[in-house]
């Protein structure tokens, strides 16, 4: 009898919290170099959400090449939010699946990019080749490591940054084309993703300079030691805006729309911005930017919209089949 | 049991087992393949031809088929020797070596690719010695036969160039040859060789007239399996190939590249060409095997 009563009590106790507090599971589909960032951010957001609503939220992460991840979502990976490398990849989800509203980029501040990054050079300690700017990359004998722009989002930023520099320098498109062709003649290995290129440069010892995301370059310094590598900041680079958005149809179906939105909005909070800064992404809010001026050097940053007329256009001109990149390798 | 009635098999259930076989094969093999064909059917003939005859695609076909063939040939030779040693000689550690042969089956190909790259890269254990030797060898060839562009054929380094692709494909294909040859070799009695010797055959004759004919069908099967495996290999190659367009890009990588650009049809178009080509090649090899069996076993 006593046992039965105890059992009933136990049953009642275990049901009660379940009625009042929900346990939410979110899936964030992201790209490769954000692993460390979101590992910390998810824990912080879970604490914030617990304090605000009393609900437990567990965020599951999926990482991979940005394009591959977008394809996963199109093919049915049930992502509540996507945090990818390029607006073009989210546009592709819109175009191929209609899971996301077409005006997604206006839903959050700064083109839905809570943090930004740029492309810098990672060179070996002491900079033995004396690499200071883009112009040094086309010198004969300099070996440059970058992933393949056809498969890697990061590599497209590399390509466009080089193009923007050369167009400023030469004043015309043809000059830019010749410069970028010369640059790619100095590339001995094309990995399919940014992490692969970092491995090739850092661990296999191939190449004199790695074109890398700023956050990847800092991470390489942190992981492998500042006594082996140093970062060179070119005179001009490109402003990379990795965007985030809610996958509307999926989040609604799972009943996660509200928490998914809050999850992304919290990236713009002081705490969210600090986490981004600590993981070497440039915060977008001025207050947070001011705290990280020592980390991130100022340089001339062009944007994809003003310089290339947006991603859709740049993608079609440069990286589509038969585009500028293919023409470089056609000979 | 009448003489003119239906022919009966000794074992019952032929209809059931054939039905099951066809359904199983259809579900596991034919369904996904027909999906690839269906997806390609969305392309017009001109678009299809444009997709599969682009210079970069043709270059990747040359690399994929060429290097796979080379790797399979080398595997057939050295795999044959390996199988021979494992079957015919008793020595300490034989079981361990026998088990090692299966490793390429079991190892995730990405792990194999990373391991091979780490070892053969210019700063790796083997690469630091072998890489300069290879470069010297290629340069020597260029001096001896300057009319061939050896460096672009053979690559200037081992990892991150064509020799890397060859290494990875040899690695994944080896067990196929060894495992198909072993049972046949075990059946082949040493008495056969003794008989040949007593009848006055020298070693070369014993090898080419007595042993090889017996082994030929199995050797061809092993070669075909190893070749087919190499054609489809992706995971290990991408790490070590360097992946330069027009030069060291394999076809499976190009298919992935197309997918990354949401060009599903272009990807399946290349896949279909590869599939048909592989099927024709395997069919030819099967015919060759049949022929060799008939030819040698008079």
pLDDT score for A33: 84
Sheet of A244-246: strands edge to edge?
A56-62, A23-30, A81-83, A244-246
Residues of A whose CB is below 8 A from B238: 191-192
Q: With CA atoms as reference, report the closest residue to A289 among A303, A299, A302, A276.
A: A276
Whole-number average pLDDT of chain A: 90
> A37-67 pLDDT, tens per residue?
999 999 999 999 999 999 999 999 999 888 8
Record: contact B239-A196, CB cut-off 8 A: yes
Query: Is A148 in CB contact (< 8 Å) with chain B?
Result: yes
- The minimum CA-CA distance between B258 and chain A, rounded to whole Å, is 8
Query: Alpha-carbon distance A317 to A308, whole Å?
Result: 9
Query: Which residues, listed in sequence order, are joined to residue A82 by a DSSP beta bridge?
Result: A29, A245
Its sign, for the CA torsion A151, A218, A85, A255, is positive
pLDDT of A11 over the 90 cut: no
SS3 letters for A183-212? HHHCCCCCCCCHHHHHHHHHCCCCCCEEEE
B56: nearest CA partner in chain A: A330
Quote the ipTM score. Answer: 0.71
pLDDT score for B16: 87
Among the partner-chain residues B122, B253, B266, the one whose CB lies closest to the CB of A206 is B122
Query: Alpha-carbon distance B153 to B137, whole Å?
Result: 13
Q: B46, B192 in Cβ contact below 8 A?
A: no
Q: With CA atoms as reference, report the closest residue to B283 among B218, B220, B219.
A: B220
Query: Alpha-carbon distance B167 to B158, whole Å?
Result: 9
Record: contact A320-B56, CB cut-off 8 A: no
Range A243-257 average pLDDT? 95
Q: With CA atoms as reference, report the closest residue to B259 among B269, B250, B274, B249.
A: B269
Query: How many residue contacts between A and B have a Cβ separation below 8 Å?
Result: 70
Count how many residues are written for chain A.
Answer: 331
Range A70-89 average pLDDT? 92
Query: Alpha-carbon distance B175 to B287, whole Å?
Result: 23
Residues of B whose CB is below 8 A from A92: 262
Record: contact A204-B123, CB cut-off 8 A: yes
pLDDT score for B156: 82
Ordered alpha helix ranges (H), A98-243: 109-112, 153-170, 173-185, 194-202, 214-224
Enter the DSSP assignment of B149: -
pLDDT score for B1: 46
Record: contact B242-A65, CB cut-off 8 A: no
Judged by average pLDDT, the poorest of A145-149, A170-174, B34-38, B250-254 is B34-38
Query: Is A192 in CB contact (< 8 Å) with chain B?
Result: yes
Query: Is A206 in CB contact (< 8 Å) with chain B?
Result: yes
pLDDT score for A297: 87
pLDDT of A159 over the 80 cut: yes
pLDDT score for A67: 83
pLDDT score for B152: 84
> A308-318 pLDDT, tens per residue?
998 889 988 99
Query: Is A169 in CB contact (< 8 Å) with chain B?
Result: no
Q: A237, A118 in Cβ contact below 8 A?
A: yes
> A96-111 pLDDT, tens per residue?
998 999 999 999 999 9
Q: A31, A244 in Cβ contact below 8 A?
A: no
pLDDT score for B2: 47
Query: Which residues, listed in sequence order, are joined to residue A29 by a DSSP beta bridge?
Result: A62, A82
Range A279-288 average pLDDT? 93
- The minimum CA-CA distance between B247 and chain A, rounded to whole Å, is 10
- The minimum CA-CA distance between A329 and chain B, rounded to whole Å, is 6
Q: With CA atoms as reference, report the closest residue to B75 among B229, B254, B275.
A: B229
Q: A82, A90 in Cβ contact below 8 A?
A: yes
Record: contact B121-A68, CB cut-off 8 A: no
Query: Is A92 in CB contact (< 8 Å) with chain B?
Result: yes
Record: contact B260-A206, CB cut-off 8 A: no
Residues of A whose CB is below 8 A from B260: 65, 67-68, 71, 150-151
Q: With CA atoms as reference, report the closest residue to B219 among B174, B181, B179, B171.
A: B181
- pLDDT tens digits, chain B, 298 residues: what are they? 445 555 666 777 888 889 999 999 999 988 988 888 888 888 899 999 988 998 889 999 999 999 999 999 999 999 999 999 999 999 999 999 999 999 998 899 999 999 999 999 988 999 999 999 999 999 999 999 888 888 888 888 899 999 999 999 999 999 999 999 999 999 988 888 889 889 988 888 888 888 888 898 899 999 999 999 999 999 999 999 988 888 899 999 999 888 877 788 889 999 999 999 888 988 998 888 888 777 665 4
pLDDT score for B9: 67
């Amino acid at each position: 009898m006593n046992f039965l009563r105890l059992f009933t009590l136990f049953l009642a106790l275990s049901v009660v919290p379940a009625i009042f507090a929900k346990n939410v599971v979110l899936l964030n589909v992201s790209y490769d170099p954000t692993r460390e960032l979101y590992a910390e951010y998810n824990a912080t957001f879970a604490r914030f959400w617990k304090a605000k609503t009393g609900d437990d939220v567990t965020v599951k992460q999926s990482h991979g090449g940005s394009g591959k991840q977008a394809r996963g979502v199109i093919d049915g990976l049930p992502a509540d939010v996507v945090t990818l490398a390029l607006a073009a990849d989210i546009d592709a989800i819109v175009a191929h699946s209609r899971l996301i509203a077409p005006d997604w980029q206006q839903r959050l501040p700064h083109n839905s990019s809570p943090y930004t990054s740029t492309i810098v050079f990672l060179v070996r300690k002491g900079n033995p080749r004396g690499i200071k700017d883009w112009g040094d990359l086309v010198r004969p004998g300099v070996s440059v490591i970058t992933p393949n722009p056809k498969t890697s989002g990061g590599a497209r930023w590399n390509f466009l940054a080089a193009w923007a520099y050369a167009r400023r320098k030469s004043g015309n498109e043809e000059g830019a084309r010749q410069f970028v062709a010369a640059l790619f003649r100095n590339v001995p290995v094309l990995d399919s993703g940014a992490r692969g290129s970092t491995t090739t440069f850092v661990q296999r010892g191939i190449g004199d300079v790695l074109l890398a995301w700023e956050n990847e370059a800092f991470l390489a310094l942190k992981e492998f030691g500042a006594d082996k590598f140093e970062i060179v900041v070119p005179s001009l680079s490109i402003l990379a805006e990795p965007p985030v958005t809610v996958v509307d149809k999926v989040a609604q179906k799972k009943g996660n729309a509200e928490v998914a939105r809050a999850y992304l909005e919290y990236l713009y909070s002081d705490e969210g911005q600090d986490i981004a800064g600590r993981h070497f992404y440039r915060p977008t809010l001025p207050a947070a930017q001011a705290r990280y001026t020592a980390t991130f050097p100022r340089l001339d940053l062009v944007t994809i919209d003003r310089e290339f007329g947006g991603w859709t256009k740049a993608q079609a001109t440069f990286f589509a089949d038969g585009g500028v990149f293919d023409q470089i390798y056609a000979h | 049991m009448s003489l003119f009635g239906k022919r009966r098999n000794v074992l019952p259930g032929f209809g059931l087992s054939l039905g099951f076989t066809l359904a199983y094969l259809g579900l596991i093999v034919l369904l996904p393949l027909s999906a690839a064909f269906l997806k390609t059917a969305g392309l017009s003939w001109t678009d299809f031809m444009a997709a599969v005859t682009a210079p970069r695609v043709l270059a990747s076909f040359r690399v994929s088929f060429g290097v796979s063939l080379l790797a399979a040939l080398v595997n057939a030779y050295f795999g044959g020797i390996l199988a021979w040693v494992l079957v015919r000689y008793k020595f300490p550690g034989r079981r361990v070596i026998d088990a090692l042969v299966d490793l390429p089956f079991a190892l995730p190909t990405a792990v194999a690719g990373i391991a091979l790259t780490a070892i053969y890269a210019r700063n790796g254990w083997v690469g630091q010695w072998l890489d300069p030797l290879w470069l010297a060898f290629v340069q020597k060839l260029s001096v001896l036969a300057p009319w061939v562009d050896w460096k672009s054929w053979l690559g200037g380094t081992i990892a991150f160039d064509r020799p890397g692709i060859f290494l990875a494909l040899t690695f994944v294909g080896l067990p196929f040859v060894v495992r198909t040859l072993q049972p046949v070799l075990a059946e082949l009695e040493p008495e056969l060789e003794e008989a040949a010797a007593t009848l006055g055959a020298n070693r070369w004759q014993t090898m080419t007239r007595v042993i090889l004919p017996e082994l030929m069908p199995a050797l061809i099967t092993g070669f075909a399996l190893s070749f087919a495996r190499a054609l489809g290999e992706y995971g290990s190659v991408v790490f070590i190939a360097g992946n330069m367009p027009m030069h060291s890009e394999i076809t499976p990588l190009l298919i992935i590249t197309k997918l990354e650009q949401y060009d599903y049809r272009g990807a399946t178009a290349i896949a279909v060409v590869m599939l048909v080509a592989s099927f024709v090649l395997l069919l030819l090899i099967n015919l060759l095997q049949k022929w060799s069996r008939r030819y040698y076993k008079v």
